[in-house]
Amino acid sequence: MNKIIFANNPLDRMSGFRSDKDWQKANLLDNETRFVVFHSGKPLIHVSSEPGSNSTIFLATYDQIKNFIEDAYLLFLGKLKNKSYYAIDLSKSNKDFDKTAFPNCKFIDLRSIAQSISPEDTGILAQAKSMVEWNSSNIFCTRCESSRLETVDAGCKKICKNCNVELFPRVDPVVIMLPIFKDKCLLGRQKIFPPRMFSALAGFLEPGETIEDAVIREVKEEVGLNVTSVEYKFTQPWPFPSQLMIACFCQTDGDTTDLDQDEIEDAVWLSREDLNRIFVGKSPDRIWIPPAMAVAHQLIVAWMHNK
């Protein structure tokens, strides 16, 4: 099991069957098929009332969502065992969704529920939410600027019948890195962070850049350090709306920082002992780091254990 939230999607995406209309039609009506329901970007969650037990994705049957199919996006996610999973977005539907028919269910922001559901459910929701967002924000062709896009391949592709452009769901790569010099790592603080929170550095990849180029550029821009080597660690899908966080360690050739105050208002070099004190709530400066659902947290923990 991967410890990283949003990174444990158990579905077989069955990409070879997305464009098979007959297969999709039969699949949709299969008794075992289930639907992950979204409204206004939020998934429908069955909230656990038992202390200590997980909330779960509410999986609707075909009968429960059939009235909405005509005017909602219906997106094929994949299969797990014999069950097919679709996402359905009710935001654009004119029909009322009767929530009283679903006791203990609520549309909940994914960020606030991610730590209370199983790792597999976070993985399914990461895929579903990014697909829902992409489908609902790509309505018209941006190339010929005149046509409405047509959704094909069970929601995994859009085409313009006017200029024949094909569009696929986008993923935006972000590098997130921990600069390291000798036995310390550097954490930085953006102005928008809550008071006393420090984290790894981060930035979007730019066109034509490798992961290594982006790490070297971002570290130089944000804290003025020269990176001498980059070590890829792991990735995390981040469905707000569709990023891929690429987490790396990077060695620097010194520890003298020159902060870009527009981006980073403060930075601090910390040893493993300093981080241990932060984890047990005994940091002298009351510094804290992002929670476990953030890949920055996992990157910092990985460095603490990587002696």
Q: Does 216 bind Zn ion (CB under 5 A)?
A: no
Angle 295-305/272-279 helices, nearest 10 degrees?
130
Distance CA 50, CA 63 (A): 28
Distance CA 47, CA 57 (A): 9
Q: How many residues bind Zn ion (CB under 5 A)?
A: 8
Compute CA distances 17 → 79, 82, 204, whole Å.
11, 15, 33
Question: Given the complex with Zn ion, which of 34 and 158 has the nearer CB atom?
Answer: 158
Residues ≥6 apart with Cβ < 8 Å to 274: 283
Question: Given the complex with Zn ion, which of 59 and 167 has the nearer CB atom?
Answer: 167
Question: Given the complex with Zn ion, which of 116 and 138 has the nearer CB atom?
Answer: 138
- Residue 255 CB, shortest distance to Zn ion, in Å, is 52
- Residue 120 CB, shortest distance to Zn ion, in Å, is 38
Question: Given the complex with Zn ion, which of 8 and 162 has the nearer CB atom?
Answer: 162
Distance CA 210, CA 237 (A): 18
Question: Given the complex with Zn ion, which of 149 and 227 has the nearer CB atom?
Answer: 149
Question: Given the complex with Zn ion, which of 108 and 165 has the nearer CB atom?
Answer: 165
Within residues 136-175, the interface with Zn ion by CB under 5 A covers: 141, 143-144, 147, 160, 162-163, 165
37: three-class secondary structure by DSSP: strand
- Residue 141 CB, shortest distance to Zn ion, in Å, is 3
- Residue 73 CB, shortest distance to Zn ion, in Å, is 20
DSSP per-residue string spanning 175-220? EEEEEEETTEEEEEE-TTSPTTB-B-EEEE--TT--HHHHHHHHHH
- Residue 147 CB, shortest distance to Zn ion, in Å, is 5
- Residue 150 CB, shortest distance to Zn ion, in Å, is 10
What residue ranges bind Zn ion (CB under 5 A)? 141, 143-144, 147, 160, 162-163, 165
